[in-house]
Structure 1
Amino acid sequence: MTTYLYLYSHGEVSLAASQPVLLYIVVAVILIFPFDIFFLSSRFFFLRTLWRIAFPLQPITFPDFFVADILTSMAKVFSDLERSVCRMVNRQVATIAWLEADSVCGSHSIAIPIVLVLPYLWRLLQCLRQYKDTKEKTCLFNALKYSTAFPVIFLSALKYHVIPEQWTSLYRPLWLLSSVVNSLYSFYWDITRDWDLSGFSRIFKFNKPSVVSNMFYGQQWIYFWAIGSNFILRCSWTYKLSAHLRHNYLTVFTMTLLEMFRRFQWVFFRVENEWNKMTRSGIQLTEISSEDEKLLSSNIHDV
């Protein structure tokens, strides 16, 4: 950015316009760099996970849906990425066209809702794949949760393709309704499924919490804070999915920043919940093994 501003302020417009292009190329090269530097194993694991997310043709693992869930918080980032690439391709970088509501890369572009919906589509396909493998109906309800984001995105995009009266009388109320459904459903799923706080049982009685859990947030007020803040931020995050509300860039930046906080909070509790499941599973296996050992000893003694 410093190079861009310096070159642009000194009249080197073409060189300034090359800076974003070079930045995108450098990031891509670093990701696929085949030599054992820049954390080769982590880079390739990340790329392999992205491939599995985009093409969920194999059984879904924890990293697959974990990263895919995080990508849903980056829908706005994907939208901005599409717009940036569009402007680079059409040579609208470092020119007055960047500030104009042009007809190529403007908010009305059909590519914007398509890019916004991609992370939710990937997560939906993962849920369907999980249902195919496990036959658990919970996977279908989870798929339904991600499908509720589709109306929010596409109804918002309709504002640029219908007359104002039609938007105000029909599509705007439908957009508001779909936003409420998406926010409430997502909030319910976070609390009852992803965090396993159904009935607030974990607030009033910890079920064998781990040492790390107690160390970081083993107090009851943390759970109240997590539930309340998650509800507020889930509702405000709909702002990001709606292209027709994204003209106030400061507000959009604030919403995106808050979503980063909400997602980090979600990750913390989601990993703890998964760890507790694994721990409980290990305890149950140990107890079963102990019972089998006692039964075997008794049988030997009888013989």
Structure 2
Amino acid sequence: MGAGGTGSSVSRRSSLSPLTSASWVTSKAGGRYEMLWHMMRQASPLGTRELVLFALLVKAYALVYTFSRVHHYTLWKFFAKLLWKNAATRPPVLIVLILLGWSWVVRTCTAAGMELELVLGGPTKPSSMAVSCALVLTNIFLSVHLVHLLASEVPGLTWRPWLTTNVLLHAVLALVIAAPHKWLHADARTSLLRAAWDSLIAPFAPVSFWHVIVADYATSLAKAFADVQLLFCEAHAIASLPEQPGAPYTRTTVLWEQMHPACVDSPFNPALLALPFWVRLCQCLHVYAHTKEQKNLWNALKYSTAFPLIYLGWHRRVYPSPFASRLFVLAAVLNSSYTFVWDVLMDWGMLRWDKERSCWSLTMREQTIISARKATYALLAAFNLSLRFLWAMAVFGAVPTRGHGMFFFEAMEIARRTVWAAFRIEWEYVAKVLPKASATYAAVDKDSIDGEDASLLPVHDVERALDRGPKGAATAGARALRPLGTDVDL
């Protein structure tokens, strides 16, 4: 939700006296939570009300946890019911994590001096907007689950509060995000939805860098798409069970486990898992059709390696055998290795061939923006490599892959994608924006830039010099820097 329409200035309210509910939330959190509180309060004109509602909901949850009579929760079980118990609970939490991660991406890139609108193709909302949206969705999430927890305290209910409220939550979140209302940053949501729609019809729609970012985030949500299919499949199966008068009530969790094999083995599950990769494949082929650059075919091949992995994972569940497991591991190694190498060489441009030393010599690129320390980029590569191969822990049974185990893997993938996005934007800025800025600056009268010699300025000082030049030159430079249609490295 970063490349929205015209960005309005964020209105900041005057400081309010500390609220009792807010103090209750932040009393044990220390300085970090106080900083988060301050950032959230300035997120939007509705930030204060949203934060007060959040504090009240947290208090309500504390009361339910403390005084529950029907359910005797441990703290682990209490959070499990909300966050990671199974496929019904995880997708909304992942959406909130993505918004918080995108806020970090925007803050990191802008703090490094990058003008994101020159890369994303339009005015970019401030990082506080993503935090505000995450807070709104969190309040919806907590409100709906509070109904579930309170209803669970009433004995004798047969409308299955846990399952019903989870289905309702997904429907409400879909309406809040996709409905044509003016609430919740309508221009940013419109930009996001338009990019998502263009990505779905990629062979027939333009592909910009913003489309690429949105579609790549969708690949990190592939398991969440499959989780949504699983939720609605199981909800339909449970709701379709015939009523048996006089029969004892069967808990929803028991029925969920009974219906799980049929729903997870449905062909719709792997189809939704594969959909984001199919979208990226079509985008790569679309760009190749316009540019004829062979690297787009190699990128398309990268995304196509996900399909054998998805099929073999499904085949291993339905027709288990040692041979199927070995093929699955082989496909996973191929996919993870290919994507990791592509991340380092193409998406981040971290390594360059040094032909002066040797035809096989690789060196770290000199020009960086986010960090001047090369060790940061080495740690980035190691971080990406480890998370790319975390799937191996599940394959070899080191951790459970349902419940908290699957939530851990999905959350780590969101973390990896967040870091990937920041450095992907950096490389796009270095490769596309700065060369155009340098060319534009060379055409500006050197005497108009406080007497500095333009030929002696390093590339990373070009934009700073442009800002000190005449307004007309800066405007011309901004126009020259704006990304062009499908001219994008995928």
Say whether residues 1:255 and 2:409 are aligned partners. Answer: yes
Question: Is the Cα–Cα contact under 8 Å of residues 199 and 205 in structure 2 kept in the other structure?
Answer: no
Matching residue within 55, 70, 90 for 2:237: 90
Cα distance, 1:238–1:272 mapped onto 2, change above 3 Å: farther
- What is the distance in 1 between the residues matched to 2:225 and 2:214? 15
Q: How many angstroms does 1:15 deviate by?
A: 6.0
Residue in 2 that maps onto 1:272: 426
In structure 2, give the amino acid aligned to 1:35.
H
Alignment of 1:21-60 (within 5 A): 21-56=167-202, 57-60=204-207
Q: How many angstroms does 1:160 deviate by?
A: 3.0
Q: Say which structure is richer in helix.
A: 1
Residue in 2 that maps onto 1:182: 335
Q: How many angstroms does 1:205 deviate by?
A: 5.5
Residue in 2 that maps onto 1:300: none
Q: How many angstroms does 1:288 deviate by?
A: 6.5
Alignment of 1:193-272 (within 5 A): 193-199=346-352, 206-207=366-367, 209-210=368-369, 213=370, 217-237=371-391, 247-272=401-426
Deviates more, 1:92-101 or 1:267-276: 92-101
The residue matched to 2:389 in structure 1 has which SS?
Answer: helix
TM-score after normalising by structure 2: 0.52
Could you give the per-residue CA deviations for residues 91-124 of structure 1, whole angstroms, max 9, x where no partner exists?
A: 359623113255542x322222111111101100
Matching residue within 275, 279, 287 for 1:122: 279
- What is the distance in 2 between the residues matched to 1:28 and 1:159? 32
Question: Is the Cα–Cα contact under 8 Å of residues 92 and 98 in structure 1 kept in the other structure?
Answer: no
Question: Is the Cα–Cα contact under 8 Å of residues 79 and 115 in structure 1 kept in the other structure?
Answer: yes
In structure 1, give the amino acid aligned to 2:238.
R
In structure 2, give the amino acid aligned to 1:251.
G
The residue matched to 1:14 in structure 2 has which SS?
Answer: coil
Question: Is the Cα–Cα contact under 8 Å of residues 124 and 146 in structure 1 kept in the other structure?
Answer: yes
RMSD: 2.8
Cα distance, 1:280–1:248 mapped onto 2, change above 3 Å: same
Question: Is the Cα–Cα contact under 8 Å of residues 75 and 119 in structure 1 kept in the other structure?
Answer: yes
Residue in 2 that maps onto 1:13: 158
Alignment of 1:156-175 (within 5 A): 156-162=313-319, 164=320, 167-168=321-322, 170-175=323-328
Q: Between Structure 1 and Structure 2, how many residues are aligned?
A: 278
TM-score after normalising by structure 1: 0.82
Question: Is the Cα–Cα contact under 8 Å of residues 131 and 139 in structure 1 kept in the other structure?
Answer: yes
The residue matched to 1:120 in structure 2 has which SS?
Answer: helix
Q: How many angstroms does 1:197 deviate by?
A: 0.7
Matching residue within 217, 228, 238 for 1:81: 228
- What is the distance in 1 between the residues matched to 2:165 and 2:402? 25
Cα distance, 1:258–1:146 mapped onto 2, change above 3 Å: same
Any gaps of 5 or more consecutive residues in structure 2?
A: 1-144, 241-250, 355-361, 446-490
Any gaps of 5 or more consecutive residues in structure 1?
A: 292-303
In structure 2, give the amino acid aligned to 1:192.
L
Cα distance, 1:137–1:2 mapped onto 2, change above 3 Å: same
Could you give the per-residue CA deviations for residues 210-254 of structure 1, whole angstroms, max 9, x where no partner exists?
A: 4xx2xxx32122111001111111111467899xx9744222222
- What is the distance in 1 between the residues matched to 2:256 and 2:220? 26
Deviates more, 1:114-123 or 1:23-32: 23-32
- What is the distance in 1 between the residues matched to 2:280 and 2:385? 21
Cα distance, 1:41–1:240 mapped onto 2, change above 3 Å: farther
The residue matched to 1:97 in structure 2 has which SS?
Answer: helix
Residue in 2 that maps onto 1:298: none
Residue in 1 that maps onto 2:307: 150
Q: How many angstroms does 1:46 deviate by?
A: 1.3
Cα distance, 1:113–1:32 mapped onto 2, change above 3 Å: closer
In structure 1, give the amino acid aligned to 2:406.
V
* Larger RCO (alpha carbons 8 Å, 6+ apart): 2
In structure 1, give the amino acid aligned to 2:421.
V
Residue in 2 that maps onto 1:296: none
Q: How many angstroms does 1:47 deviate by?
A: 1.1
Question: Is the Cα–Cα contact under 8 Å of residues 217 and 417 in structure 2 kept in the other structure?
Answer: yes
Matching residue within 45, 59, 62 for 2:209: 62
Question: Identity of counterpart residues, as a percentage?
Answer: 29
